[in-house]
Every structure is written in C-alpha cells, then in structure tokens.
Amino acid sequence: MHHTDTHAYDLHLRAGRVVCPATGLDGPGGVAVRGDRIVAVGDQIDESARETLDFPDAMLLPGLVDMHAHPAREGSKYGVDPDVHFLPRGATTVLSQGDAGAGNWARYRESIIEGARTRVRLAINLSVTGESNPTSGCFENLDDVDVDACVAAIEDGGEAIWGIAANIAKSCAGDNDPREILNRALAAGNQTDRPLLLGTRREADFPLDEQLELLRPGDVITYCFQSDLDCLLKDGRIKDEVWEARERGILFDIGHGMNSFHFDVAEVAIANGFLPDTISTDQYIRHVDSNPQHDLPRTLSKLIAAGMSEADALARVTVRPAEFLGLSGEVGTLSPGACADLAVLRFNPDALPLRDVRGAERPGGCWEPILTVRAGEIVR
C-alpha cells in the first residue's frame, strides 16, 4: 500500500565535513536522498526527511570504490562475501581481480554481480578456471589460458565485465612462459576492447621495462608499491620507463594484499611525485578477522601516512576509480542525480598503528568506517 509521504527526502545525512573530490566540495553540510538517488548536497538542505542522521565529528564521502579485491561467495580460493566484508566498511563498488574465469563466469554473475548488494564489476580471469583451484596457480596449465573462451565470456557479460585479470608472477604462472600469458591476455583485450589488470612479473626472465612496452593506454598495473625485485624504483627514484608508461596512459594501482605494499617504495614514489592512480585493498580471505581490520579506509590512511595529501588519497578511492571503471557520474561523486552510495568515516587518532606487509609502522591515526549507504538504503 502506498501512503502519502509528506517528507521531501527519504534520508538526510549531515556531517561536519562533506567531501566530494569530483566536485571539490569540502565543508560542513549534508546529502539528501530520494529513492536511490542523491537529490541535494550542501549546507542549505531545509526540507524534512523521513530519516535524518547527524555526524558532526565525521566525514561524509561518496561510497568508496575498491579497484582490486576479491568479492566472491564460492568458486574462488580468495573470495569473501562483499556484503559482509566490504560494504559495511564503506566500499560500495568493488572490482574483482580474477575471482571467476570463463568456466565459472555464469555462476559468478548470478551469485555476486546480480546477487550481492555491493556493486561488483569483474576483471575476468584469463584462465577458464578462475581462482577455483585451491592448490595451484591459475595459469599453471596453459590449456586453461583460453583466449577464445575469455572473449566469448566478455561478449556475454557486457558491462559487468570491466576487463581481464592476469597475474604473471611465478606463483600464478608456474613454469609457463610469462610472455605467452601476457600475449594471450593482450589478444583477448584487443578483441574485446577491454583493459588488463596486470600483476607484473618480478623475475629477471621478463624485465619490467619489457612488460611496460607491451601494455596499452588504460591497462592497469596493480601491486605498484611492492618492493621486491624489479619494482618501480631504481637507485632511490622512479625508473624512466615507468614515467614513460604513465605518460602513455598506463595506470598504477596499489593492490595492498598480504605481500604488495611497502612503505619504503610508497614514500620514495610519492616524494618523487609519482602518485598511484587508484588505492585498493586486494582484500581477500586471509584478511578476515585481521586486527586491525584490513579495509579501504585503513589502506587510504596508509597512503596519507606515506606522504599523499588527504585530497589526493580520497580522490583515488572515489572519483578516479569510478572513472576508470566507466562509472563516472553514477558513483564516486555526490552530484545530484548520482546513485546514493555514501560512506561516513571518522578519524581515529588512537587507532592501531598503520603497518605495511612487512610490519613497518607509520604513525598518523586512521580513518575508520562508521556508516555506509548503498543505493539510498542504510547498510545495517
């Protein structure tokens, strides 16, 4: 039964700071929501709302966008339920890094892309098996690295499949030639006009500069601030070929994970003016019940501690990844008309220390999630 609602808005969130990197907004105010849309923003929202919540000591942002994580309920050895582990922690839009391949894509679409409350896009695994094999790397069997199957799945998936995931590290490729895997990934990408989300090779057998030369504008290198052999730095500065790749339009993503974020690399890169294009968690099953809890607010706090300005860091979890995912105007912004995906974060100066994957610590406090709204509905 439809009753007459005298309220102008369904939801009005107010905060001591309302921050929208897309529009440059940063000040006290609020966001008014009707249905699943943002309808008004700023400090002059007067009409009544069915529900009004006030967060005077917190920051209200567009829902956060995680460019590399593992949303999956089944069929992926890395997967966690995004509605349990990402959405309540401020991440309303998440890109899956290869949790499903052509062989289990249809099930993934039903279970996660259509079945989760979180907005999920897939970087489809170049391996038909995705990450379903618990004991071996996804590219250890070259027969699974099937360009035609990948292309067919992307044509079936349309906009649900953003791009192609290929990690050519030894742990994924086994004894297979990483050049062959990258060439197949590029072939699938070229046939479907899709970007790659690439975990680079870190062995002398396929140097980084050779990998970069093969990539195309819009391709994304993840794990960009990892410090193992053949990283972005040499002799304390960013390599020339890395700057050249950026100038050609190659993008660089954090993909923190369990092994891939080192303060020493991040600090040198940032001091050199080389900022990541996107800040992402690579959050997966091993992070469940981590203490402190690994999430996107904590990851962005680490980049601020490493020298990024708050404004630059916040853009890289909102407007920038939204743009790269092809979702500009719909997510990553507080503009009226956008989807009402919202995150409220509070700064905790006494949070547990910010640690990189080797345990190096930096002071600085941490942003922590306190409320998420997805498509106009509070996540409770």
265 located within any domain? yes
H-type alpha helices, the chain: 82-85, 105-108, 147-157, 170-173, 178-192, 208-214, 240-248, 263-271, 296-305, 310-315, 319-324
330 located within any domain? no
**% of the chain residues with pLDDT over 70:** 99
Give me the pLDDT at residue 170, please: 86
Identify whether residues 311 and 341 lie together within a single domain.
no
Cα separation, 97 vs 112, whole angstroms: 13
Is the distance from CB of 160 to CB of 119 less than 8 angstroms? no
Which residues span the domain enclosing 372? 9-62+337-378
DSSP helix, strand, coil percent of the chain (3-state; round to 5): 25, 30, 40
Q: Give the residue-averaged pLDDT of 108-129.
A: 97
CATH code, domain with 177: 3.20.20.140
Identify whether residues 277 and 141 lie together within a single domain.
yes
Q: Give the residue-averaged pLDDT of 333-338.
A: 98
Identify whether residues 176 and 315 lie together within a single domain.
yes
Is the distance from CB of 126 to CB of 133 less than 8 angstroms? no
Which backbone phi and psi does 207 adopt, to 5 degrees?
A: -60, 155
Give me the pLDDT at residue 1, please: 45
pLDDT band per the 50, 70, 90 thresholds, residue 136: confident
Give me the pLDDT at residue 4, please: 56
pLDDT band per the 50, 70, 90 thresholds, residue 123: very high
**Residue 223 exposed, middle or buried by CB count within 10 Å (0-12, 13-18, 19+):** buried
Mean pLDDT of the chain: 95
Identify whether residues 225 and 239 lie together within a single domain.
yes
Number of H helices, E strands in the chain: 11, 18
Identify whether residues 219 and 305 lie together within a single domain.
yes
Identify whether residues 41 and 149 lie together within a single domain.
no
231 located within any domain? yes
48 located within any domain? yes
Identify whether residues 238 and 255 lie together within a single domain.
yes
119 located within any domain? yes
**Residue 48 exposed, middle or buried by CB count within 10 Å (0-12, 13-18, 19+):** exposed
Instruction: Please compute Rg for the chain using Cα positions.
Output: 21
Give me the pLDDT at residue 174, please: 87
115 located within any domain? yes
Cα separation, 91 vs 128, whole angstroms: 28
Distant-in-sequence, close-in-space partners of 62: CB < 8 Å, separation ≥ 6: 20, 22, 318, 319, 322, 331, 332, 333, 334, 338, 341, 342, 343
Query: Could you report the per-residue pLDDT of 40-94, keeping only the tens digit for each?
Result: 999 999 889 999 999 999 999 999 999 999 999 999 999 999 999 999 999 999 9
Identify whether residues 224 and 137 lie together within a single domain.
yes
| 3-class state of residue 59 by DSSP | strand
| 3-class state of residue 305 by DSSP | helix
The residue from 324, 352, 367 where one domain ends is 324
Identify whether residues 240 and 360 lie together within a single domain.
no
Give me the pLDDT at residue 248, please: 98
4 located within any domain? no
pLDDT band per the 50, 70, 90 thresholds, residue 19: very high
Query: Could you report the per-residue pLDDT of 170-188, keeping only the tens digit for each?
Result: 899 888 999 999 999 999 9
Identify whether residues 314 and 229 lie together within a single domain.
yes
Identify whether residues 44 and 125 lie together within a single domain.
no
Identify whether residues 200 and 87 lie together within a single domain.
yes
332 located within any domain? no
Total number of domains in the chain: 2
CATH code, domain with 38: 2.30.40.10
Distant-in-sequence, close-in-space partners of 282: CB < 8 Å, separation ≥ 6: 68, 69, 70, 97, 222, 223, 254, 255, 256, 257, 258, 260
